[in-house]
Amino acid sequence: MKNERSRFGLVNLHGYLYAVGGLDKDNKSLKSVERYNIATNKWQIIAPLPACRYDMAIAVYDDKIIIVGGQHSVKADAVDVLDVQVFDPAINEWVAKAKPSCVRSQGSSLVVDNKLYIAGGHQPSAEDSSKTEVCNFVEEFNDEHNSWTMVSQALIPKNDIGAFRVNSHVYFSLCGHSYDSNITIPHNEVYDVDLDDWVKLKQNTNGAAITEFTFNSKKLK
């Protein structure tokens, strides 16, 4: 990676790993974006974000990269970002999309049945806007109408759990560890939660980002 970063967004798309925003070694927020070509083992700087950002939700949706929320600065008076940006690799450009209803940072994004959902994370406290509280709102993005709608659900409590999907399973990151929910995503549902069936996988590195990546191992020999 050309720029050292933590608390950044990481996704893979069309054979590249994309590292988006984050914090540098001096704890300053970044707007730089770079991608890694696993076939050539090289990093490339691409179009930056319109503004510095970290702790955002990120996903690949409709062959594009979409980021939601996050924060601009680590300053004490910094506020969460109510903003959505979409990156189109075909034109190397970020485009603003409709804003969701809930301001949040450290949220999780999931694509299920070609629908994008944002859940969890932190939001400004209803009692004191200078403080944050965990969020239990789930929102669904409609790309055709460029709009967000609240998803009615009662299973997910207020939480700052990081969630990501690999194949048909949803994984949750708790206290620096990864846990498998051990459930298959039902048809037409975002995800279900069975708190009695989580399995500890391994310890994560603090500040690291995680994504899934499929490649042909024969090409690495």
Q: pLDDT by residue (tens digit) across 105-122?
A: 888 887 877 888 887 778
Percentage, residues of the chain above pLDDT 70: 66
How many residues in total does the chain contain? 221
| Domain ranges (residues) in the chain | 9-208
Distances (CA, A) of 47 to 17, 33, 44, 92, 192: 14, 6, 10, 6, 37
168, 112, 95, 211 alpha-carbon torsion, rounded to 10°: -20
157-212 tens-digit pLDDT: 555 556 666 665 555 554 444 444 444 444 433 334 443 344 444 444 455 555 55
CA distance 165 to 188: 15
* Residue 80: pLDDT band with limits 50, 70, 90: confident
Q: pLDDT per residue over 3-26, tens digit each?
A: 899 999 999 999 899 999 999 999
* Residues 104/132, Cβ–Cβ less than 8 Å: no
Q: Would you state the pLDDT for residue 74?
A: 75
> Which pLDDT belongs to residue 211?
58
pTM > 0.75:
no
What is the per-residue pLDDT for 194? 40
Query: Domain 9-208: what homologous superfamily?
Result: Kelch-type beta propeller (2.120.10.80)
Return the minimum-mean-pLDDT range out of 20-34, 67-81, 83-97, 178-192. 178-192
**pLDDT score, position 47:** 97
Whole-Å CA distances, 120 to 30, 61, 133, 159, 172: 23, 19, 10, 6, 11
Q: Is the pLDDT of residue 48 over 90?
A: yes
